[in-house]
Amino acid sequence: MSEAEAAPPIRNIGPLTVFLLVLAGLIYSLLFPINRIATENGVPALGYVVWLSLGGGALMLIACLVTRKMPRLGRRHVVTYIVGGALSVAAPMTLLALAAPRLPSSIITMIVVLAPLLSFVFALPVKLERFRWLGLVGLLFALAGVLLILLPETSLPEPGMVGWVLLTLLVPISFAIFNIFIDLYAPPQEGGLQLGTGILLAAGLIMLPVTAIAGGFHIFPGPSAEGDFAVLYATLINAARWWLMFIIIRMAGAIFVSQTAYIIVLGGFGWQALFFGGSVSGFIWAAAGLLLLGLTVNTLSKMRQQRTARPRYRNSI
């Protein structure tokens, strides 16, 4: 293999991609308070994920029909939908829905933020990323923000939560593997709208037999109107964030889009305060600063690599 063939793909990162990254993170972070509202109002976890998948996929399928760009059904496309649906929706969203009533939301969001670190590490052996000292520094800043939130309490509220924390650690691992899989295997000619549609619908089809066996479907109307509206809001949010995510992937790569985890954490705390009240401690503000600093350092590092990897006269998207 020649040196040119071994080089990581060049991505375009600029103000627009950063803006879309922040927007996607803020939209996705709305799912954290909605997860709590849904589970507290009697929505089963498996049924919740079915609606997130099939409902969101149906909305995106309508957009595909309007734009006349339907998901393709070639072998590589179908494999991408099935594997992507399992790694990015079916498995992690089920774990998050199950953990929502059993772990504090702050611990869950801190676990999710590990995904960019794992994505960067997993990308190095397959040459999707070159090792970057500034990239490592940025990720360490983010990890320091995580520790600043977790360490002051030094332990979980209840000893029985340890098992759920260990189980929830599978969520960022699954997200990170998905990020690498999409960059390596997803058909390059497939648009983000089609990919997102296929992945969400595939995830829903995976969840249907599981939910049927477990008997966890959510039928409208449910036990409460609050739970029903939470499911509808989550479905809309899921469709919007997937569409945005694949736009960013095509512009800047799946590894860059994994940085939404930082915005998700900050937005999660903000939406938590907005919906449920409560004050924010100085530790949380300091952690927020570290997380944003980590995102900034990592983004600037990738932009610097991009400039050195191509002619200066070429414009960014």
Structure tokens at 198: 């296929």
> pLDDT digit of tens for each residue in the chain (317 aa)?
444 444 445 556 678 888 888 898 888 888 888 888 888 888 888 899 999 899 999 999 998 999 888 999 889 999 999 999 999 999 998 898 888 878 777 677 777 877 777 787 788 888 777 787 887 888 788 788 777 766 655 445 666 676 787 788 899 899 889 988 988 888 877 777 888 899 999 999 999 998 988 888 888 888 888 889 999 999 998 888 878 877 887 777 756 776 777 788 778 777 877 777 666 567 767 777 787 787 778 767 776 766 665 443 322 22
Residue 306 confidence (pLDDT): 62
How do the domains of the chain map onto residue ranges? Answer: 20-307
For the whole model, what pTM was predicted? 0.78
Residue 53 confidence (pLDDT): 92
Burial of 135 from C-beta contacts in 10 A (0-12 / 13-18 / 19+): buried
Residue 3 confidence (pLDDT): 42
**138 within 8 A of 297, measured Cβ to Cβ:** yes
Q: Which residues contact 26 (CB under 8 A, 6 or more apart)?
A: 263, 267
